[in-house]
Amino acid sequence: MGRRLFAEFLGTGLLVAVVVGSGIAAERLSPDDTGLQLLQNSLATVFGLAILILILSPASGAHFNPVVSLADASLRRRTGTGLPVPLAAGYMLAQFTGGIAGAVLANVMFDVPTELATADRVTTGHLVGEIVATAGLVLVIFGLIRTGRATLVAPAVGAYIGAAYWFTSSTSFANPAVTVGRMFSDTFAGIAPGSAPAFVSMQLIGGALGLAATLILFPAPTSPVR
């Protein structure tokens, strides 16, 4: 169990370090074009997220996201193979602490002080964006698992986030632990603590919708028909 929690801590931490660190690099190196910054930030995240899932999935399943852990526990309970509640709680604790540690690590690497972020991100459009982003993420992960294609989760989640950075207005946080971690760097990827509860709430709603869509589209775990 320690090994699994270490993997969740490390993976979530490095994910936040990738998001925050590449955001700092982007805003420093391309100061004149926010879109170019987001392109750099999003491509680094595509690569980094896919690799973290790839490497660490044999150790812990590579959730790195409380919504994913909740959805996983919920789905498995239906089949009687559920993640026990203490382990799910441990996963989430590891994810939140990892997320914060990752922001601090990025700050240290870029010689930036660790401060609470000031970027207020709540708008109606952004909240809808978070619902869509998280629903899509859950559908991608569990749609693949339920069709016998778990080995594709790593590149698929990376690619999905590469699209979601751009097509959702909120740039697709889609992850409560990453949201909390991003509160601790007042830089490109930061989010003001006052915006976090609304974002997390929408992520939970999106997760539930994504799970519902998964069960409608793939009612029984099965191999692909094609």
Query: Within 146-205, which residues bind its own copies (CB under 8 A)?
Result: 147, 150-152, 156, 158-160, 162-170
85 binds its own copies (CB under 8 A): no
Q: Report the alpha-carbon distance of residue 121 to residue 3 in Å, rounded.
A: 35
* One-letter amino acid of 29: L
48 binds its own copies (CB under 8 A): yes
Residues 80, 53: contact at Cβ < 8 Å? no
Report the residue from 9, 21, 83, 196 that binds its own copies according to the rule CB under 8 A. 21
Number of H helices, E strands in the chain: 8, 0
79 binds its own copies (CB under 8 A): no
- The residue to which tokens 């392109």 are assigned: 39
Q: Report the alpha-carbon distance of residue 191 to residue 33 in Å, rounded.
A: 20
Report the residue from 93, 128, 198, 209 that binds its own copies according to the rule CB under 8 A. 128
Residues 162, 170: contact at Cβ < 8 Å? no
Q: Report the alpha-carbon distance of residue 226 to residue 219 in Å, rounded.
A: 16
Residues 6+ apart with CB under 8 A from 110: 21, 24, 25, 28, 187
Report the residue from 103, 144, 174, 178 that binds its own copies according to the rule CB under 8 A. 144
Report the residue from 5, 10, 75, 83 that binds its own copies according to the rule CB under 8 A. 10
Residues 95, 177: contact at Cβ < 8 Å? yes
Piece of the chain touching its own copies by CB under 8 A; list 67-75, 76-84, 85-93, 135-143: 135-143
Nearer to its own copies, 193 or 215 (CB): 215
DSSP code at position 190? -
Report the residue from 108, 116, 120, 221 that binds its own copies according to the rule CB under 8 A. 108
Piece of the chain touching its own copies by CB under 8 A; list 81-89, 117-125, 173-181, 199-207: 117-125
Site size toward its own copies (CB under 8 A) is: 86
Nearer to its own copies, 17 or 67 (CB): 17
